[in-house]
A and B are shown apart, each in its own frame.
Chain A
Amino acid sequence: MAGTAPLTAHAVPAAREVARPANAFAACRALLRRDFTLAWRRRGELFLPLLYAVIVAALFPFALGPDPQLLGRIAGGVLLVIVVLAMLPALESMFRTDLDDGTLEQWLLAPQPLALLALTRVIAHWLTTVLPLIVVMPLLGALLDLRVDVLPVLMLALLLATPLLVLLGAVLSALAAGARRSGILLALMLLPLAVPVVIFAAGAIAAAQSGMPYLAPLTWLAAALVLAIVLAPLACAAALRIAVES
């Protein structure tokens, strides 16, 4: 295979001649396509968080007794915590392979805003690892006797809270990418950032359960999400630069 016949000069395009210049839109699309392909290659792994969530949700009735009223009262908060915990393992490895195989170096040298690539990675991560968790929420809600009229609020709260958590988690994951592997470290760092998110998401669910207006906490979550979409990718880019500068 090593037969490398010298080509004539015109077969190699000029070093400074560009057919398709780089543009940010194409870069995001290429990154999304790449991440989806990778997720598809490892689709077996995508079921693990789902399995984890189902197992934990199924354990609660055994621990607390099958009283539908008690379960229904705590179901919203329990499911919220389960989702947060199920997200953690995937968050930990969000940038680690890319750092190890040198892909992040290529990100840094590309004529693209690093923060935009980080945001795209967050979107791909949320779609592939978190969205399935939200999709199975009705099933888990049924396991725990969650009231049917509370379910939409739970879903809405999760739709706002989980992208926020992935954005925050991306910053932490980028910070920890250059460190020795340590899963509990990410949980420790995420806890302080997750507290407000959990409070407002759970606040909306609790309000819906007691028949009170639940829009205010959801609005706070949405505002925080908008803020995080702007700020978190910048912090994430700074963290990625630190990770690559070893």
Chain B
Amino acid sequence: MSRNYLPHWLHWLGSPPNFYRFAGAVRPWLLAAALVTAVIGLYGGLVLAPPDRYQGDAYRIIFIHVPSAWMSLFIYATMAVAGLIALVWRIKLAEVVAMECAPIGAAFALITLLTGSLWGRPMWGTWWTWDARLTSELVLFFIYLGVIGLYNAFEDRRRGARAASLLALVGVVDLPIVHYSVVWWNTLHQGSTIVLTGKHSLFGASPEIALSMLWPLLVMALATHLYFFASILGRTRVGLLSLESGKQWVRNLVAEPDA
């Protein structure tokens, strides 16, 4: 009955067969667009952009690292919103979306950690440092793992999705606290860490970042978003199919796959 408050198209999309068809139609286009923008962004970042005055070519990993870091947070937000909808309105689609977000987000968090580590080797001379950003990202990665682990620990997948959605919401409260406490902790142990100027200036969008470096970064951010949308649509399709196996619309689909 609460669904009446949702816009009509959202209600339409909330029905698994409708979503399945919609996602199937949109996904290839998103994937193609993601591929094209990624090629443009990488060409701009790896070929066109000039080497950095201090870091040389090593900085170019930011064209992967920074969009991944952004995505790991964006996907968490998406997962939390879908989880909230799943908990409040008990919409099956929202449960599936929230749970399918988690592995993608975890993958982006892992990419962020690995590329950060690769970048850290030439910059700081070490694979890992307890920098505030990296530590927060590591904690984010663990929250993702917790959500995935809790979801998979349930026999009943819908109940698991609801429990894991609640955990994701707890994480929303936790993440800022973790970030600020880690920053505080870092300043407390200042001696053992290296302050990263190059990376910080990128995040702060300071004027010294050249336009030739900025646009490939933004294009890559667009590409990762497009990839995420394509990926979540595809994963949700599969998730819905296995949840709804035995339903008439799935049977019809198996009978005539082209319909």
Contacts and interface: CB of A to CB of B under 8 A. Distances in A.
B178 interface: yes
B181 A195 contact: yes
Interface in A212-246: 224, 231, 235, 238-239, 242-243, 245-246
A238 B153 CA distance: 18
B160 A192 contact: no
Given A231-B173, A242-B159, A176 B181 contact: no
A189 interface: yes
Nearest to A197: B181
Given A188-B142, A188-B146, A243 B153 contact: no
Given A188-B145, A192-B146, A179 B153 contact: yes
Q: How large is the interface on B (under 10, 10 to 19, 20 to 34, 35 or more residues)?
A: 20 to 34
B46 interface: no
A191 B142 contact: yes
Interface of B: 87, 139-140, 142-143, 145-146, 149-150, 153-156, 159-160, 162-164, 166-167, 170-171, 173-174, 177-178, 181-182, 184-185, 188
B99 to A, nearest CB: 14
Given A192-B146, A206-B188, A235-B166, A185 B178 contact: no
A182, A193, A243 interface centre (most CB from chain B within 10 Å): A193
A54 interface: no
A199 interface: yes
Nearest to A175: B163
B184 A176 contact: no
B92 to A, nearest CB: 15
B188 A179 contact: no
Contacts of B173: 231
A231 B172 CA distance: 13
A118 B181 CA distance: 27
Interface string A169-202: 0011001101110100100110111011001100
A4 to B, nearest CB: 40
B153 A182 contact: yes
Contacts of B159: 178, 242, 245-246
Contacts of A175: 150, 163-164, 166-167
26 contacts: A175-B150, A175-B164, A178-B154, A178-B163, A179-B153, A182-B149, A182-B153, A185-B146, A185-B149, A188-B149, A189-B149, A191-B146, A192-B140, A192-B174, A192-B178, A193-B170, A195-B139, A195-B178, A196-B181, A200-B181, A203-B184, A224-B177, A235-B166, A238-B87, A242-B162, A243-B163
Contacts, number: 82
Contacts of A191: 139, 142, 146
Nearest to A200: B181
A207 B143 CA distance: 29
Contacts of A199: 181-182, 184-185
Contacts of B139: 191-192, 195
B192 to A, nearest CB: 12
A109 to B, nearest CB: 19
A239 B154 CA distance: 14
A231 B173 CA distance: 10
Given A188-B149, A195-B182, A246-B156, A172 B167 contact: yes
A171 B146 contact: no
B142, B146, B156, B159 interface centre (most CB from chain A within 10 Å): B146
A242 to B, nearest CB: 5
Contacts of B170: 171, 193, 235
